[in-house]
Chain A
Amino acid sequence: MKQKKIAGGSTIRAYTRRWWPLFLGPVVCAFIIGFVWPFIQGIYLSFCKFRLISDAQFIGLGNYIKAFQDPSFIHAFWYTALFAIVSLVIINVLAFAVACALTQGIKGSNLFRTVFFMPNLIGGIVLGYIWSMIFDGILGRFGTSILLESRFGFWGLIILMCWQQVGYMMIIYIAGLQAVPEDMLEAARIDGATRSQTLFRVTIPNVMPSITICMFLSLTNGFKLFDQNLALTGGQPFIIQSGGTTVKTTEMLALNIYNTFYGSSSASQGTAQAKAVIFFILVAGLGLAQLAYTRRKEVQQ
């Protein structure tokens, strides 16, 4: 039986192998145009001074030094990190609470789930404008605006992201909670465990994989956030520092990179590309950490 399977596999393989231009050709071409070539060129250009790609000059690490000396970039980094962590905590706590509530078999669970998930389908730009209208409608009563104070911009973005992401994380948590073995909960009940004991000793250890996924997802989502940031505040309010540099107080990393590429008139594309590489290393590092962590957990189980 096993012999036959191997033989069959090799038949398919031998048959199919020479058909690669048809099966792989289109994807490989597009992949080179849309990813491989821009990626390699991007790495190379981060070591160059250039205005147009055609007149790039190799200058070594100069762009990286400039990037780390740029106060707006450093500010954007800490702002993004803070945002990512705060949104991670709030989104996951809310999503977990809602998921717990929706797995108790209460009336209207399906309707609630539908409503909570809905904002996920609305695009970031549109979300930003909806919420900027709402926040200005509220703050306008107090004679201010979301564009005038950076803490409004921060918490506004947190509220927006909660509205959008809680439903998404909730779906993952619901799947995790439904997989908790019923007999374990039953046993806890018979042994007289209190509600919070059951939650922390039985439920949470069992949904740990979902928790890990959601934490990493919301962390990387926070770091990569662009559309919502652009549409809600666009980095406002601005502060002009004594050196003459402008720091956009609610600007996150992705938007900072975008503005360095396309915003300023000076030739800062090289610096922008260096920032983009740093950003890539940061985000890829988070992704790899997640991979390593989930792998280790799987081995333990």
Chain B
Amino acid sequence: MNKTRSLAADRRRKTALSAVLAVVCVIYVLPVLTVVLNSFKLNTFVKTDTFALPSGEMWAGLENFIKGMTFGNYPFWKSAAYSVVITLLSTALILLCTSMAAWYIARVNSKACRALYFLCVFSMVVPFQMVMYTLSKTADQLKLNTPWTIPIVYLGFGAGLAIFMFVGFVKSIPLEIEEAAAIDGCGPLRTFFSVVLPMLKPTMISVGILEIMWVWNDYLLPVLVLDINEYRTIPIHIQYLKGSYGTVDLGATMALILLSIIPVIIFYLTCQKHIIKGVAAGAVKG
């Protein structure tokens, strides 16, 4: 009797909890919803009627999106394209180079390797402001200031975390597998690419997601390294909408913000499981 009553109370409590969380959830998506609303609203109403539906005279249709494309002295599609190029190239370069280096470090484990590993761990606690001035000057001198060469800078500054995560994983792989490959006549290159690399896949996904999220959202490094009259990324584009103009077309800005978060949300919803796992793996870096 007592037990059934407590079970019923428990069920009621869970339903109440669900309801509360559902309300919080709705509040949580409101900011994104506000962006959607205002991207269809005429500029003059964004400030005065921020939370109203874009109905009647406020309705701007697709005008904000059309205006946004050329708004800010720089075509938006170009910023988006450069963002994609930089993110994909940097992530690919980081994954390939750091996984190779990490395997070498873990397996050869010489004094030089341990020193390099220590430097990598050290680099993870150094904030970007420490090196930003000298790094941007060095990158300038070496002509690394284009979207095609900036991945090298990302590889240099981002190698620490990636190597740390890969080394941790390689150490957990039993040596016997590589040993068997070596006995069967595989050289180091073949051992790495056809035996080790497939086993690294889960860590590859985690590291890849962390790097994609970092590079895609990064503002300071590209704005300092790239020649921004020539090349912009999405965060730079959005920052310069406000920075360079006296008056800002808020409607068009919101349209661009919407366009820039839609791919992110689609990416999130399609690989949600991996993203949450990857982020959690990166957090526990110690």
Q: Which residues of A contact B (CB under 8 A)?
A: 5, 8-9, 11-13, 15-17, 19-20, 22-24, 26-28, 30-39, 41-42, 45, 53, 98, 101-102, 104-108, 111-126, 129-131, 133-134, 136-138, 140, 163, 168, 171-172, 175, 213, 217, 224, 226-227, 230-231, 254, 257-258, 261, 269, 272-273, 276-277, 279-280, 283-284, 287-288, 290-291, 294
A129–B254 alpha-carbon span in the complex (Å): 9
Which listed residue (B14, B158, B175, B260) contacts A106, Cβ 8 A?
A: B14
A15–B191 alpha-carbon span in the complex (Å): 11
Chain A residue, CB-CB nearest to B243: A234
Contact A112 B21 (CB under 8 A): yes
Smallest CB separation, A145 vs chain B (Å): 10
Residues in chain B near residue A122, CB distance under 8 A: 217, 261, 264
Smallest CB separation, A215 vs chain B (Å): 12
Residues in chain A near residue B132, CB distance under 8 A: 258, 261, 276
| Cβ < 8 Å to A, chain B residues 162-181 | 163, 175-176, 178-179
A5–B159 alpha-carbon span in the complex (Å): 30
Contact B28 A137 (CB under 8 A): no
Residues in chain A near residue B250, CB distance under 8 A: 133
| Cβ < 8 Å to A, chain B residues 267-286 | 267-269, 272, 275-276, 279-280, 283-284, 286
Residue B56 interfacial (CB < 8 Å): no
Contact A258 B14 (CB under 8 A): no
Contact A30 B155 (CB under 8 A): yes
Which listed residue (A27, A140, A171) contacts B155, Cβ 8 A?
A: A27
Smallest CB separation, A124 vs chain B (Å): 7
Contact A31 B119 (CB under 8 A): yes
Interface locus among B59-67, B71-79, B135-143:
B135-143
Which listed residue (A32, A123, A276) contacts B156, Cβ 8 A?
A: A32
* B contact residues, range: 35 or more
* Known A27-B97, A108-B22; 20 more pairs at CB < 8 Å: A12-B107, A22-B100, A23-B103, A26-B100, A27-B101, A30-B159, A31-B119, A32-B156, A35-B119, A35-B123, A53-B137, A98-B24, A121-B213, A124-B217, A134-B34, A171-B280, A213-B284, A277-B130, A280-B127, A294-B286
A117–B98 alpha-carbon span in the complex (Å): 28
Residues in chain B near residue A254, CB distance under 8 A: 127, 129
Residue B108 interfacial (CB < 8 Å): yes
Contact B176 A123 (CB under 8 A): no
Contact A34 B182 (CB under 8 A): no
Which listed residue (B154, B176, B235) contacts A8, Cβ 8 A?
A: B176
Residues in chain B near residue A175, CB distance under 8 A: 280
Chain B residue, CB-CB nearest to A43: B130
Chain A residue, CB-CB nearest to B110: A17
Residue B114 interfacial (CB < 8 Å): no
Which listed residue (A41, A112, A172, A287) contacts B125, Cβ 8 A?
A: A287
Residues in chain B near residue A23, CB distance under 8 A: 100-101, 103-104, 188, 192
A289–B99 alpha-carbon span in the complex (Å): 29
A106–B120 alpha-carbon span in the complex (Å): 42
A11, A38, A101, A226 — most chain B CB neighbours (10 Å) = A38
Chain A residue, CB-CB nearest to B237: A125
A34–B158 alpha-carbon span in the complex (Å): 9
| Cβ < 8 Å to A, chain B residues 80-136 | 97-98, 100-101, 103-105, 107-110, 116, 119-120, 123-127, 129-135
